[in-house]
Amino acid sequence: MWLKDSSIGRKFIMSISGLFLVLFLLFHGSMNLCLVIDDLFGTHAYNWICAMLGANWYALVGTAVLALGVVVHFCYAIILTVQNRAARGNDRYEVVARQEGVDWASKNMLALGIIVILGLCLHLYNFWWKMQFAELTGIHTSMFDPQDGSAIVTALFTDGWCGIIYCLIYIVWLCALWFHLSHGIWSALQTIGWSNLIWLKRIKVIGIVFATITVGLFMIVVLYFMGVNIGQMCA
């Protein structure tokens, strides 16, 4: 089957899985923005969403689908990288000058992807492990109620110097995610056929805009609580 046996098919699968994950990131980032709104205005929107997306069957199915999407995307990225390097052979060591039209992110997608995966593992430990997993199994993995996601996030990012370190780690992770998305989105659109002399530059702009909006939603939360933490430390 061409989807798994040909290079174009594998690129197509990686592109579709990547675009699917981008849509999830947009939703997740919008959900996280409720944390800032709740803290500023005393609402409880974030915990309401956490309760709705707790250990319910549809949330568990969605989590499984997302996990599968991440695995497929990452595995196909490794396969394509290995195949590309094998096809180039030793020629890649002879090129020392920067290739025209090839940006830094495109040449470091695998490294950026590994940073994103490592950050994702840390993120899952800090939040999924203490929220959905704890609610599902009944095992208390933190001192907080699994449905009180707001308290869990706030405690992590406002815990003095430890909170500062976590904020900095998340900032590095989000920067790597921005570079990965900014190139990955336009590359995916190009792979599925949305590219020609007119649209090539446009889809690059679309990739940058979507990457900036997506990462910005997460970055606002981290920077906000970092500011709260610094304010508490200086008080």
Q: Are 217 and 33 in contact (CB under 8 A)?
A: yes
Give dist(CA 6, CA 18) in Å, integer: 18
pLDDT at residue number 189: 83
Q: Which residues contact 80 (CB under 8 A, 6 or more apart)?
A: 7, 10, 11, 14
Predicted confidence pLDDT, tens digits, the chain (235 residues): 545 566 777 788 888 888 889 989 999 999 999 999 999 999 999 999 988 887 788 888 888 999 998 988 888 888 887 877 776 654 443 333 344 444 777 778 888 888 999 999 999 999 999 998 998 888 888 899 988 999 999 999 999 999 999 999 999 999 999 999 998 888 888 887 776 667 778 888 989 999 999 999 999 999 999 999 999 999 8
pLDDT at residue number 58: 83
pLDDT at residue number 57: 80
pLDDT at residue number 195: 65
Domain boundaries, the chain: 2-91+108-234
pLDDT at residue number 1: 54
Give dist(CA 46, CA 42) in Å, integer: 11
Query: Could you tell me which CATH number the domain at 2-91+108-234 has?
Result: 1.20.1300.10
pLDDT at residue number 101: 45
Q: Are 21 and 70 in contact (CB under 8 A)?
A: yes
